[in-house]
């Protein structure tokens, strides 16, 4: 489903006059996917309005980069390319030096390293660009590359859903196991209720994923865009293993609290960093769900402690 574009009349330099030409250029630029050279944009603009000069396009591109609407990238071709930032999460590039094709990815580990280095140097980072040069699979092996018909946003949403589904599956396994070992009837009921909720949410996420795949028949097989270390198997995977070794209800609840807190922080932290997109929405929705589960488990843990104290 096409996403609504921003009101371009409001995207202009502070104190700057309204420019119809700039708005035409901005509108055309935001409708494009992929990486354009300045000359590519000039050709597109001239189809819309022959009166707009090359110099005006160049000045507007410079303004868009300064305003954070566009990113400038260098693929080693001897010229810069530009991509828009609207509803487009910050990402990095793999660039083949043989065919000059590029592919995109996002990695939490690289993001964390950039922040760590900047913080250690007391450096206020405004923009980061990572480009890895090498040889793509097609050039290295002769294997034909798949035709890329997906936008970065669609790949981002696909991978965000994959992480959410994996986390929901591991959460279902955790709460199912916790319900089996729980001795306290109330605690067992809470675990059973959460397991049922995880199962219901899992079904909704899988249906959402199926609907997403309908937008691109090849989406399932396209390369991974979103890399999050430790999230591929679900954020409750280790907790599901640990709870089987728990000997008390308190231990099971503490493991659940630890998992829910880590999951909430993960989805909220990275969801807050992404620019507006379906992937961001998926992460923030999941963060809210995990927060509610965390609060429920904390209340149950405190209630269990109070009940045990009254017995003694």
DSSP string, 145-156: PPP----HHHHH
Strands 131-134 and 92-96: parallel
**Is the confidence at residue 4, as pLDDT, over 50?**
no
16-20, 55-59, 102-106, 259-263: the lowest-pLDDT one: 16-20
CATH 1.10.10.10 maps onto the chain at: 1-86
Tokens standing for residue 76 = 């080693």
Q: For the chain, what is the mean pLDDT? A: 84
pLDDT tens digit string along 152-210?
Answer: 778 888 999 999 999 999 999 999 999 999 998 998 999 999 999 999 999 999 999 99
Q: How far apart are the first and last CA of the chain?
A: 61
pLDDT of residue 150: 59
CATH 1.20.1260.10 maps onto the chain at: 152-311
- Which of 169, 213, 192, 197 is closest to 289 using CA atoms? 197
Higher per-residue pLDDT: 63 or 293: 293
Averaged pLDDT for residues 56-76: 83
DSSP string, 48-92: H-TTS-HHHHHHHHHHHHHTTSEEEEE-SSSSEEEEE-TT----E
- Identify the residue whose tokens are 């502070």: 14
Mapped onto helix, strand or coil, the DSSP state of residue 112 is: helix
Question: How many whole angstroms separate alpha carbon 304 and alpha carbon 206?
Answer: 34
pLDDT of residue 115: 83
The separation between CA 246 and the C-alpha centre of its own chain, rounded to angstroms, equals 34
Whether the Cβ atoms of residue 161 and residue 212 lie closer than 8 Å to each other: yes
Q: Is the dihedral of CA 162, 106, 89, 135 positive or negative?
A: negative
**Is the confidence at residue 291, as pLDDT, over 90?**
yes
pLDDT of residue 2: 39
Annotate 6-44 with b (16+ C-beta within 10 A) or e (fewer): eebeebbeeeeeebebbbbbbebbbeeeebbebeebbeb
Averaged pLDDT for residues 265-281: 82
**152-311 maps to which CATH number?**
1.20.1260.10
Q: Which of 5-9, 22-26, 90-94 has the highest mean pLDDT?
A: 22-26
pLDDT tens digit string along 223-234?
Answer: 888 888 777 788
**Is the confidence at residue 9, as pLDDT, over 70?**
no
* Dihedral-angle region of residue 147 (phi above 0 means left; psi in -120 to 50 means alpha; beta otherwise): beta
What's the residue count for the chain? 312
Higher per-residue pLDDT: 85 or 60: 60
pLDDT of residue 88: 58
Tokens standing for residue 310 = 């009254």
Task: Specify the CATH architecture of the domain 1-86.
Answer: Orthogonal Bundle (1.10)
pLDDT of residue 145: 63
Q: How many other C-beta atoms lie within 10 A of the C-beta of residue 222?
A: 18
pLDDT band at 26 (very low <50, low <70, confident <90, very high): confident
**Is the confidence at residue 255, as pLDDT, over 90?**
yes
Crossing angle (nearest 10°) for helices 185-213 and 249-273: 30
Strands 80-84 and 70-74: antiparallel
């Amino acid at each position: 489903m096409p996403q609504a574009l921003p009101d371009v009349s409001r995207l202009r330099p502070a104190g700057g006059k309204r420019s119809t030409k700039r708005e035409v250029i901005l509108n055309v630029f935001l409708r494009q996917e992929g990486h354009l050279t300045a000359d590519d944009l000039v050709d597109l603009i001239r189809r819309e309005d022959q009166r707009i000069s090359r110099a005006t396009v160049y000045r507007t591109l410079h303004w868009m980069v300064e305003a954070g609407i566009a990113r400038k990238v260098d693929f080693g071709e001897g010229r810069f390319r530009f991509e828009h930032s609207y509803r487009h999460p910050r990402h990095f590039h793999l660039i083949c030096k043989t065919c000059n094709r590029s592919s995109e990815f996002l990695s939490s580990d690289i993001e964390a390293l950039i922040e760590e280095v900047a913080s250690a140097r007391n450096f206020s980072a405004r923009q980061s660009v990572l480009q890895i040069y090498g040889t793509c699979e097609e050039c290295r092996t002769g294997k034909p590359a798949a035709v890329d018909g997906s936008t970065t946003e669609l790949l981002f949403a696909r991978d965000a859903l994959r992480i959410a589904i994996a986390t929901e599956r591991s959460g279902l396994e955790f709460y199912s196991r916790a319900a089996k070992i729980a001795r306290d009837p109330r605690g067992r009921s809470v675990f059973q209720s959460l397991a049922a909720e995880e199962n219901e949410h899992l079904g909704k996420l899988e249906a959402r994923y199926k609907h997403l795949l309908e937008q691109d028949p090849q989406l399932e097989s396209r390369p991974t865009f979103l890399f999050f270390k430790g999230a591929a198997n679900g954020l409750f995977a280790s907790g599901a293993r640990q709870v089987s070794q728990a000997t008390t209800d308190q231990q099971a609840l503490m493991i659940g609290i630890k998992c829910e807190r880590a999951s909430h922080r993960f989805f909220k932290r990275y969801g807050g960093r992404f620019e507006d997109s379906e992937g961001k929405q998926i992460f923030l929705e999941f963060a809210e769900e995990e927060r509610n589960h965390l609060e429920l488990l904390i209340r149950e843990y405190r209630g269990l402690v109070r009940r045990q104290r009254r017995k003694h």
